[in-house]
Structure 1
Amino acid sequence: MSARAVLTTTRSVRRRLDLDRPVDLAVVRDCLEVALQAPSGSNAQRWHWLVLTDPDQRAAVGQVYRRACLEYLDSPGAAGRLHEQDPERSAVQQRVHSSVAHLAEVMGRVPVLVIPCLRVPGGGLPEGNQAGLWGSLLPAAWSYMLAARARGLATAWTTLHLAHEREVAEILGLPADVHQGALIPTAHHTGTGFKPAPRQPLDEVLHLNKWA
């Protein structure tokens, strides 16, 4: 696959995750090797990666995720409540809402769950701008997802479980100075391949030199 093809067809896959086909851990490791080539602030490389394959661990995290997801789906900011005044975009949002609800029910059964984490000196997160902090982890997590796509795997990006981050940390035995950045279900996918998603025209969001 070309770089453009990988970048434009790496979708958040929720309904089409194959829950029954095992994922070769060697392939996941290969994707993480790619992820470790991403940039990090001061080249500190404070990232850590939890890869969950144990059924009990996956089920336990899945239960927390389901609870967090149901809270989200009932909130004003849920996907299905966005763009209600635009029939075309609302229809897309309703499909996203439905797929999020589906993932909530099956998260604990996805063959591999990957949780990218940061180890923060002193343990506490800094006040104010944290862009540099999370910018030292999230590009690597995205690289993992791109590498998985290139190898025929499907993933989804979600952070909903972070509403109960400490509970998940206790399940996983995380030290107090380790903070989770995302939850990435990883599986083979059902059906055919993926295509680019509808997006706003570039000129509606592009600003040259200044906002106006």
Structure 2
Amino acid sequence: MTPDELLTTTRSVRKRLDLTRPVPMELVRECLEIALQAPSGGNAQGWHWVVVTDPERRKAIGDYYGRATRAYLASGSSAGALFQDDPDRAAVQRRVSDSAAYLGEHMGEAPVLVIPCIEAARLPEGNQAGLWGSLLPAAWSYMLAARARGLGTAWTSLHLVYETEIAELLGIPSGVRQGALIPTAYYTGETFKPAHRQPLDDVLHLDGW
């Protein structure tokens, strides 16, 4: 797989996660070792990675995630509610919403749940880019490494509605914040193709807006 292919075919995998096939912990460790090579502000490396494989804890996290997903889908601001005036994009959004609903019901069945975290005694007021910029690139590197090894992942954050409850469940200290919840599993089917995106010239601004 070339770098371009890896970068353009790493999709959010929801319905195609293989919920029955175990994922070796050594494979997850390989992906995390790669994630640790990502940039970190000031080289602080304040990240932590909670990997959940215990069935009861996965189910508990899945229950919280399902509750948050159902509220999100009923909110009127979910993916399926966007771009209703554009028939082509609306159809894509409905598929995204449908797959999000599926993952909401099955998150706890994913064989591995990865929660990237970062040390933060308190969230900065105003601009938080420096904080999350020291975690999210590493989480994306984890997902790319997983894709290169035949694993599917999905970037999710709806569980953060219940961040405190999940922190208590997993014993995450109060000075550590969660950044995402990444289900990890082998995927069904052969491969993935690049997603349809809006033309670059619609979003490119040279030397100013």
**What's the CA shift string for 1:123-149, capped at 9, x where partnerless?**
211111000000000000000000000
The corresponding residue for 1:168 is: 166
The corresponding residue for 1:115 is: 115
Distance 1:43 1:100 in 2: 35
Matching of residue 37 in structure 1 with residue 74 in structure 2:
no
In the superposition, the TM-score normalised over structure 1's length comes to 0.98
CA drift at 1:151: 0.5
The corresponding residue for 1:102 is: 102
CA drift at 1:191: 1.1
CA drift at 1:167: 0.9
**What's the CA shift string for 1:19-69, capped at 9, x where partnerless?**
000001101000000000000100000000000000011001000000011
Q: Supply the AA of the counterpart residue of 1:206.
A: L
Q: CA RMSD in A?
A: 0.5
SS in 2 for 1:65: helix
Q: Supply the AA of the counterpart residue of 1:46.
A: G
Distance 1:76 1:130 in 2: 27
For these two proteins, the number of residue pairs brought into alignment is 209
CA drift at 1:76: 2.0
Which aligned segments of 4 or more residues in structure 1 are displaced greater than 2 angstroms? none
The corresponding residue for 2:195 is: 197
SS in 1 for 2:66: helix
In the superposition, the TM-score normalised over structure 2's length comes to 0.99
SS in 1 for 2:117: strand
**Sequence identity, in percent?**
67
Matching of residue 178 in structure 1 with residue 180 in structure 2:
no
The corresponding residue for 1:126 is: 124
Q: Unaligned stretches of 5+ in structure 1? A: none
Q: Supply the AA of the counterpart residue of 1:82.
A: L
Distance 1:147 1:46 in 2: 20
The corresponding residue for 2:88 is: 88
